[in-house]
Structure 1
């Protein structure tokens, strides 16, 4: 099979280093091109959805609100709206129902390794059925992707209420013991199950077991073979398939509705070619994928459905990728689907896609790009992503176009990207060869981006809400970015960069008719040579300056911004290319209850065997750092990523009683630049006793501001080395 998602990229192992160049002057001069006339009316962005969502932080609760936070690795940062509500035993979140509904889907998180249930109440009356919650499909580790850390904290669980609720009614969820972080509730009126189409072949007539106990794989294969040119009917029920289907062509696979007909498998269709005319509609495929293994085809569709095919009305969940499409998929239509909780992409058109339309889909909680076109082996051509709603891709971009010819991205709504991505990326990052760079006309029109863009932990540098990236080759296509709305970007709105570090130019870009509101740093982040024209781009509440124009690499050439007329609110320029502007006061601050040190880079003067510095910040109190023995002093240093007003440290040793009580003599030092350290708390002895959890707390002075935290150990009564199983840092005293 072709290489599966992202043996690279969305890994984005970028070769970019710290920006130290003196920036080129901004050429936001009087327009050299004729100004546009009136901007055409923008169509509504996003999908038309069968449900209405309500955020937990806007509901009534007896729990604790967390967030907002944009820092990768925190629970709030992956939540919708960067906020959620944490409840423990007996606590609840009560939602006011926004529409007539008989079904609930809940996005939530529970601590790693735990599971439980939520009681559900309607207008104060508890239902007999409960909502199961689990961490089984969360906490995904992708150690081969630099800077990714553990991510994918949330999951979705659904429930038919057994009754119809009306607008204004109250639906509450209550913890029965497990700590649950509630993110968002979707309320939906689910239609009755559809009946069997005339002349169709039912999978149960071929021996499929709707109870889910038996293996229905052969029954599905036999039904597909019998129904060539017709329809395979999947009645209401749960069906278990233990190996993938192939040879699927000239057939319709149809269920009674995605809440009724459910196929349980981690590999539904896997085939490299098909004669096409495949119609897949109106059922659910729910997998058991709990980790990302790029060599495994753990996908709803892997390969090709063939020309003239369609996928509609599907509920796709707990797989690696929804659709990983290679081969001939000409004129494929993918519409009106829900793709949830994938450990990698939602959908990826992997070369050879001609005339593909991906529209009106809802995607939540992807572990990589939600929607991507990757022109590997051949260019994706004349294909589009239209009117999709994408939320919480927790490792990469909402929408990514990697190469291709005459591609369109129109009227999509993307929110809450995290870590290695932007809301939309238009890129010549190839990952593998042979690759077809961007060509023809790339249309990016009518999109709305909310809280998109993030700090890339590989670069320690921000990514904009909408990024144009000449990563591996110059961009020479015509790129028209029109009618864009960028709201609450934590960093910049539009980024132009040559992320591979070769200084390739970005050319042929026009940005027109954009509205930018409350961007954390700048409107335009220009870090490549080349040029772009801006018309009718208005900005309000800009955090630092209008433009950051600092070429990367240094002296690689200037980026020219041409004023096409009608621009306002972003005329200033950031003057110091040796520093990146910090977000303005409008940008949310980190959750004060979050451990700032967890998952951050850690170094030490020495370590013993496998007891490396990272073990002190991995969130696992049973693993630990141990310095070189018999060689005091020894130091552990943690880079918190930004400067914080740290008020409290919690130092831990493994809680096992095998660790006898001991006292370590520790000096706390801090630095904002990583080179000049000053003493924050002088040398003191801290007692670690297994009877009290082997934990010591250090209170820092109110004046403390640091990014780099250093603990220097000069003595240990229990072992001749520095030892910490966890070093935690908090904003609260």
Structure 2
């Protein structure tokens, strides 16, 4: 049973009120940021929101289940038919990879322009590999909205040139483009055995499975050569040992299969190099080994220069993988983990890899059946894990997590998690020294919907047992965490202690709530930790369960900017409760709980607070009056309410009669704006604004609709509340 099957099924009871996310916290991953930590990448990424466009920018948004929340930088650009986004090329390039999303059930293509001239090639786009549902994981919503598509341009472009992508019919949301100078295809090594010589079909038309098996058998102790081409494998390879499988480069040698190697053991010395393995995994089925590598490559093996995409897991490693090296690879669009060292990994080094859009932990060590030991995740770049953590260490002895760059975690994850969550037995808890050094975390941490409570950018979690290992966290940079920077918690709700933690040399900037979120008994020493732009307070120190024991924070000297403490353990601080509000212009209603007197089918109240103006709430028909109510989480001086209907011209103009009420307790409501007719007209964006009197303070916002000239029901696609007039 994979760890992912059981992952996240336990939940910490709700600790306190739900947290409103602060919009607007973005930081583009510039090359300078990658130089400090993360992988040395052969491409340069450019965010669509920083490019020129005739489309519509969406985000920033941290609301679980929204499209922008899964985007790099929490922003992207939506293109309708005929609209385009034009990138200024940052480096010499002949290839591009684009992260994008299209509506569920749709496919199409983007036209490609170089310096204004349309090229013959198009970039196919599809929702086939997106919109993954994992209903058996508590707190999961439909997720995995983005996908990646790559293209050799057929020409060289230079820094400063323009490359544009235009929708040709299907709505496409473009997130980021990676520009790369792909090297020429390599030539066949002397003495190698070509899979084509054994009957493989480089056109992709025939089944090349047996040809790969025959080439592997013939090349023992040597090299199997995969020439440029597309090869189709219909069943997994096994018995792979003492052999190198090498391609002409992942842009040229492509194997199409959802199960490449599946074997429980190997004598080792397996080297996989310089080709792509692209699968057809569209859902997550944890009982199926739909992985690039499932099981063991054996000792002293390596995986390098690979492009792995559309699998369930990139590498799910069990058995003997001692001294394995996994480096210089790209792992994209997996429905579960990118890589998981699933127990008994000794001396494994995973370094200089790029991972994007994982449906679970991007990189994980899980010490099931035996401890992972003396292994490391180093200098990796991780972007947009859309369900769990960027990097997760579940147990193990003498583990290192060094110089990684993690950005944009979502829903159930932190940037880095150091945890004794066991999922299954037998499990080996953390032991020895756990080294977490030189890592950069950008926009990491999220609200765990099982807890109704946030997780920090870097989390140390005594989930199923006390942490007795020494955990040394050094030279960490945490930027734009929507909630807290460092969290210490016993996530299983048992109150196990978190001990022996040393945090030395950290820079924290622009946290939404607090710098230290302490919720377990135990102790940590902080030295040379500097914080600026703290959203609420320096410290939240409220053990769970209550009275389970205190958490001692020892000042080792050199700390600054976070000496205040949140005083009320009965409530969780909301982003923006501090002074000043880190984003005074944010929409207070976005992502907040919403209720209504009635709704039709799938047009539920939450659709009016999900940040997407194309979805909407609709009340019961022919039953006025109807009310829609939002709980903003805390009382705010709301000055302006913006009401929207979908912007499509198919929504003809109509007038709704609306009254606005407010309440601080959810029971006693005061009329803030009397019933009045408001005209929604697609010519002006189907948007109206209601100004509220100065001095208004409310937590609960209620809209009551008594008439609608366009439909016999109340309708809103978005209700937005602002503190600004």
Q: The TM-score by the shorter chain falls in which range? A: 0.7 to 0.9
How far apart, CA to CA, are the structure 1 residues paired with 2:284 and 2:310?
Answer: 11
How far apart, CA to CA, are the structure 2 residues paired with 1:334 and 1:677?
Answer: 60
Equivalent position to 2:104, from 112, 122, 138: 112
Equivalent position to 1:157, from 149, 159, 170: 149
Deviations 1:71-95 (A, max 9, x none): 2222222111112222222222111
Asked if 1:186 is matched to 2:185, the reply is: no
Correspondence for 1:15: 13
TM-score, normalised to structure 2, is 0.86
Deviations 1:517-557 (A, max 9, x none): 22222111111111100111111111211111111111111
Query: 1:408-419 to 2 correspondence within 5 Å?
Result: 408-419=400-411
Correspondence for 1:457: 449
Asked if 1:169 is matched to 2:169, the reply is: no
Q: Displacement of 1:297 after TM fit?
A: 1.4
Equivalent position to 2:692, from 689, 702, 718: 702
Q: Displacement of 1:167 after TM fit?
A: 1.2
Correspondence for 1:80: 72
Q: Displacement of 1:60 after TM fit?
A: 1.7
Correspondence for 2:4: 5
Correspondence for 1:439: 431
Size of the aligned set, in residue pairs, is 697
Correspondence for 2:521: 529
Q: Displacement of 1:596 after TM fit?
A: 3.9
Equivalent position to 2:279, from 272, 278, 287: 287
Q: Displacement of 1:650 after TM fit?
A: 6.3
Query: 1:443-522 to 2 correspondence within 5 Å?
Result: 443-522=435-514
How far apart, CA to CA, are the structure 1 residues paired with 2:206 and 2:82?
Answer: 38
Deviations 1:104-155 (A, max 9, x none): 1111112222222111111111111111111111121222222221211111
SS of structure 2 residue aligned to 1:77:
helix
8 A Cα contact 1:615 1:625, kept in partner: no
Deviations 1:644-682 (A, max 9, x none): 868355689xxx9xxxxxx99998766566566556778
Deviations 1:276-320 (A, max 9, x none): 111111111111111212222111111111111111100011111
Q: Displacement of 1:582 after TM fit?
A: 2.2
Correspondence for 2:374: 382
Q: Displacement of 1:686 after TM fit?
A: 12
Uncovered stretches (5+) of structure 1, i.e. residues with no partner: 21-41, 657-662, 717-721
Query: 1:333-732 to 2 correspondence within 5 Å?
Result: 333-584=325-576, 587=582, 596=590, 647-648=641-642, 702=692, 728-731=718-721
Query: 1:225-264 to 2 correspondence within 5 Å?
Result: 225-264=217-256
8 A Cα contact 1:103 1:187, kept in partner: yes
How far apart, CA to CA, are the structure 1 residues paired with 2:715 and 2:430?
Answer: 49
How far apart, CA to CA, are the structure 1 residues paired with 2:599 and 2:163?
Answer: 53
If asked which structure has higher relative contact order (CA below 8 Å, sep 6+), I would say 1
SS of structure 2 residue aligned to 1:395:
coil
Correspondence for 1:122: 114
Q: Displacement of 1:579 after TM fit?
A: 2.1
SS of structure 2 residue aligned to 1:273:
coil
How far apart, CA to CA, are the structure 2 residues paired with 1:650 and 1:706?
Answer: 21
Asked if 1:147 is matched to 2:139, the reply is: yes
How far apart, CA to CA, are the structure 1 residues paired with 2:616 and 2:201?
Answer: 46
Equivalent position to 1:218, from 195, 210, 224: 210
Uncovered stretches (5+) of structure 2, i.e. residues with no partner: 19-33
8 A Cα contact 2:604 2:616, kept in partner: no
- Seen in structure 2, the aligned counterparts of structure 1 residues 79 and 620 have a Cα distance that, compared at 3 Å, is closer
- Seen in structure 2, the aligned counterparts of structure 1 residues 706 and 454 have a Cα distance that, compared at 3 Å, is farther
- Seen in structure 2, the aligned counterparts of structure 1 residues 170 and 675 have a Cα distance that, compared at 3 Å, is same
TM-score, normalised to structure 1, is 0.85
8 A Cα contact 2:619 2:626, kept in partner: no
